[in-house]
């Protein structure tokens, strides 16, 4: 599908719509199938031992699929997550950003589905995987 | 299963082990099947429109199942979430605490499974439901 | 929500719409929140050791939520499952029917969500739990 | 991970361990990350309109991850599915075999996780995706 919002437009949308969390995430680049997003390793995402928290990984997967959708349908603020299933497979090492690679598997009239692989920057093993379903309002 | 940590012991464990988030959550009471947890409606959990964010509901479901397990097996810090599947069904109204009712469906030697219904305080419809699987270290 | 198809109407619908599997399942009764369905313990659902297969439990959970929906919206043949998440927690004993207790958590305009507990007849522990999401065509 | 059972060994294992369903599935080939499995389009997998049933796709995803694991750890009959989450995204056309491409994301001491993309043979869009978790007995 054609890209209708580029990296800069997505970042501006985040700043505007989600000021509370926009500083935690960064669009790395759009891909033919989706997007790559970064979670900046802030203190507030950490758990004892320095590992990134589950909710922070959830948020990363969620925003990655969301922006992958918006990149293709434009700034539809009302798309909402209806389901997220996430598997935590390895403890991410402390002090590294996380990179989420999302791909859209379906972008339908009313529902979109994407899956996500999360890795610690510079390492190969998958730390977590997730699938998100979004309900898209009529447009 | 017998309760080996009561409400006060769980609260003390939270303060000690997860000081960054302990102030967000409160054990309401233990139930025969699980636990009821409260998410205090802080500004930092909110999204535009005043609704509670997905990651905050994820965190609530996660901690509810975790403490329901610990109440029955004791303070095992190393239990880790391996899967969480969450369905968001209604937008919670702004300004209300969320209450999560978790019940343990399995508490095995190596795996525990619990499900959770989340409601806004004082309202009946279910805002979100979740299922969490925990891997429990040998004990 | 009001019941618009009773047990007999649901059974007739199954016979008509799904003749290949209608003989495997039986509506036990409608409940205020959902439905109770039975999976008849046929040889073809079994796995080595006499346990009921995963796909048979999947099918039971799926049909239970489906008929719980139809009981309330009428014979909408085009409702389709969009997501099913199922946790297998215990091996069901051989030679017993399974009973699935489904409850609808959301019955919206476009999406319905229900969860299911599956037990072996006459035993208390939950063998499997599932959550199903259905997409409902405009009506 | 090294392959310890090849295509022929996996097929022989299926015939021996799951005679009731072995004829429905065929190992296409092992891949560096997993396996490709085929579901033969039999009448008994079909639903009204000729589409493949949900339970048949569930079974395909389940066996694909299972054999991807066994190919790497050997014929461990006691590995059991603990969770399967499946998203149905498009109706598969009638009369075509389905091909499932499974990749292992984790193959740990006690748990293995794999995800699966299912397509109709000769078509590109993904019909369904699934994630399966297996509990592996000590070995």
Q: What is the pLDDT of residues A35-88, one digit of tens each?
A: 999 999 876 666 666 678 899 999 999 999 999 999 999 987 688 999 999 999
**CATH number for the domain that contains residue C56:** 3.10.129.10
pLDDT of residue B126: 97
Q: Tens place of pLDDT for every residue, chain B, 139 residues? A: 799 999 999 999 999 988 888 889 999 999 999 999 999 987 666 666 667 889 999 999 999 999 999 999 998 768 899 999 999 999 998 889 999 999 999 999 899 999 999 999 999 999 999 999 999 987 6
Grouping H, G, I as helix, E, B as strand and the rest as coil, residue D69 is helix
Mutate to test the interface with D, among A84, A108, A110, A115 (most CBs of D within 10 A): A115
> Is residue C136 classed as helix, strand or coil in its secondary structure?
coil
Q: How far apart are CA B88 and CA C118, in angstroms?
A: 23
What ipTM was assigned to the predicted interfaces of this complex?
A: 0.93
Say what the pLDDT of residue A95 is. Answer: 83
pLDDT confidence bin for A21, thresholds 50/70/90: confident
Q: What integer pLDDT is reported at residue C43 of this predicted model?
A: 64
Average pLDDT over every residue of D123-134: 97
pLDDT of residue A76: 79
Phi-psi group of D44: left, alpha or beta (phi > 0 → left; psi -120 to 50 → alpha; rest → beta): alpha
Min mean pLDDT across B28-32, B104-108, C8-12, C89-93 is at: C89-93
**D1 within some domain:** no
Name the residue among D59, D3, D63 with its Cα closest to residue D30. Answer: D3
CA distance A25 to A78: 20
Q: Is B1 within the bounds of a domain?
A: no
> What is the pLDDT, as a whole number, of residue A41?
82
pLDDT above 90: percentage of residues in chain D: 74
- The whole-number pLDDT of residue D108 equals 93
d(Cα D107, Cα A130) in Å, to the nearest integer?
17
- Could you tell me the residue range of the domain that residue A112 belongs to? 7-135
Q: How far is C12 from chain B (nearest CA, A)?
A: 31
Average pLDDT over residues D75-91: 92
- Chosen for mutation from C55, C57, C63, C64 (greatest number of chain D CBs closer than 10 Å) is C55
Q: How many Å apart are CA D108 and CA A90, to the nearest integer?
A: 10
Instruction: Tell me the pLDDT band of C20, cut-offs 50, 70 and 90.
Output: confident
Whether residue D2 is contained in a domain is answered as no
Contacts of B87 in chain D (CB under 8 A): none
Q: Is the separation of the CB atoms in B69 and B82 below 8 Å? A: no
C94 phi, psi to nearest 5 deg: -70, 155
Average of per-residue pLDDT across C119-124: 95
- Given a cut of 80, whether residue D127 has pLDDT beyond it is yes
Share the mean pLDDT of chain D.
Answer: 91
For residues C103-133, one letter each, b for 16 or more C-beta atoms within 10 angstroms of the residue's C-beta and e for the rest, the string is bbbbbeeebbbbbbbbbbeeeeebbbbbbbb
Q: Provide the number of structural domains found in chain C.
A: 1
Asked if the structure places residue C2 within a domain, the reply is: no
Question: Is position D125 within any domain?
Answer: yes
Does residue C55 belong to any structural domain of this protein? yes
- Look at residue A94 and tell me if it is in a domain: yes
Partners of residue A110 in chain C, C-beta under 8 Å: 110, 135
Structure tokens at A20: 């509370």
**CB pair distance less than 8 Å for C82 and A110:** no
Nearest residue of chain C to residue D22 (CA atoms): C47
Average pLDDT, chain B: 91
> C109: which DSSP letter?
S
pLDDT for position A139:
66
Of A6-20, A24-38, A52-66, D37-51, which range is least confident? D37-51
Asked if residue D120 belongs to a domain, the reply is: yes
């Amino acid at each position: 599908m054609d890209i209708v919002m580029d990296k800069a437009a997505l970042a501006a949308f985040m700043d505007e719509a989600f000021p509370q969390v926009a500083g935690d995430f960064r669009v790395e680049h759009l891909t033919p199938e989706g997007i790559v997003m970064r979670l900046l390793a802030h203190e507030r995402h950490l758990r004892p031992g320095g590992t990134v928290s589950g909710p922070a990984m959830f948020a990363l997967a969620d925003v990655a699929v969301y922006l992958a959708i918006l990149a293709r349908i434009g700034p539809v603020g009302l798309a909402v997550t209806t389901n997220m299933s996430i598997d935590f497979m390895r403890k991410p090492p402390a002090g590294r950003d996380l990179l989420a690679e999302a791909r859209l598997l379906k972008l339908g009239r009313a529902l979109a589905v994407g899956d996500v692989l999360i890795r610690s920057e510079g390492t190969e093993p998958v730390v977590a995987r997730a699938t998100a379903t979004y309900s898209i309002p009529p447009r």
